[in-house]
Every structure is written in structure tokens, then in C-alpha cells.
Amino acid sequence: MSFVAATLLLFLVMDPFGNIPFFLPLLRHIPAERRRQVLARELIFALAILVFFLLCGSSVMKLLAIDDSSVGIAGGVVLFLIAVKMIFGETDQLFTHAGDREPFIVPLATPYVAGPSAIATVLLLMARNPSRWPIWLAAVFVAWLGVSVVLMASNGLHAFLKDRVLLAIERLMGLILALLAVNMFLKGVSAFVEELGKT
């Protein structure tokens, strides 16, 4: 996978446009002058979580004795399910109300930005080609930067685009993610067939 493909994949999985309607209620009770600081802090936490799993990903895969073909097949299936959720939507959302306290790590940093799907994606990248970790690290940072720009502008974007347009963007992102997921699955199956042929 190239740097551009990895960056796009991570951006799609973190789904910033889909997260806007859930971020705004959690930040609404916070004073406007404090809101950006809280959001910036949570985004930094999210980046730290993703970097941690990226750098430890290869050790986790070795510990579990998982080979590349299994990672490709499982990763393709998981990402496809995420894409289906983005395309068709989901009514049940966790952590939609946090009371009057500032959110801290949960739920903004995780699971909304650095959620299970994003963590699984960085583990997948490292498992497929751990020697390219500087490229994956750069991809994580660039994708996170794009997500940060969208979420920092969430108030303005929501007012300008409205829910229906944001939903349409999320569904388009879901379609692209579905294509990437199918490609990843097919490569995993191909690698598995090659392994069978060698045995």
C-alpha cells in the first residue's frame, strides 16, 4: 500500500464528517473560548493513541502469531463492515451526552477519532509491512491533520453544510472505503492461496 492510499484509508476510517454531529453536542456546554482548546487536546490524545498502536503493532502481531494473509482478509472484512455502516447509517450512538463536564479522552479522542477501526487499521499497516513504519507514521500524521482541520471547523461546517450534506459526504466516503476494503480482502485471499501453493 502506498503512502497516499494509507493516508486516505486512515482519513476515511476516522470519518471526521460523520463525527461532526456527535462532537457538537458534547462541546456545546463548554465556553466558546475554551472549546478549541478542549478539542485540540482531545485530538492530540487521539494522535498519541494511534502512534502507540502503530509502533507496538508488529509486536502484537508476532505475539499472536498472525500472518499477513490473515491480516489482509480480516482487515478487509472489518473495513467493509465499517463502510457499510457509513453508507447506510446507524441510529445507535454511544456517548452522545457527557453531562456538564469537559470530555477527557473518552469519547472524543477515543472511540470517535482513535476508535477500534482506526486502531485496527494502523495494526494492519504495520503487520503487512513493518519495515515501512516511517511511511505509516507519516500517513497517520497527515490523516490526523486532515481530520483535525475538519473537526476544528466543525461549527462552521455544520452551519454551512447542514446534516443532509454531511450525511451525503459520509456515504460517499463509505463507498470509497468499501472499494479499498474489497481490494484488501482480495489481496489477502491471493496471499493465502500462494501460501497454500508453497506447502
Residue-wise pLDDT for 70-127, tens only, equals 777 877 887 788 788 878 875 444 444 445 678 888 888 988 899 877 888 898 888 7
In this predicted structure, what is the pLDDT of residue 91?
43
In this predicted structure, what is the pLDDT of residue 86?
79
In this predicted structure, what is the pLDDT of residue 71?
73
Angle between helices 133-152 and 32-64 (to 10 degrees): 150
In this predicted structure, what is the pLDDT of residue 196?
83
User: Which residues does the chain have with pLDDT short of 70?
Assistant: 68, 90-100, 199
Residue 90's SS3 state is: coil
In this predicted structure, what is the pLDDT of residue 163?
82
Phi-psi region of 114 (alpha: psi -120 to 50; beta: other; left: phi over 0): beta
In this predicted structure, what is the pLDDT of residue 100?
61
Main-chain dihedrals φ then ψ at residue 106, nearest 5 degrees:
-100, 130
157's CB contacts (< 8 A; 6+ apart) are: 17, 20, 150, 166
CA atoms within 13 A on the CB side of 3: 9
Q: Which of these, 8, 46, 9, 27, lies nearest to 153 by C-alpha position? A: 27
Q: Where are the domains of the chain?
A: 3-92+104-189
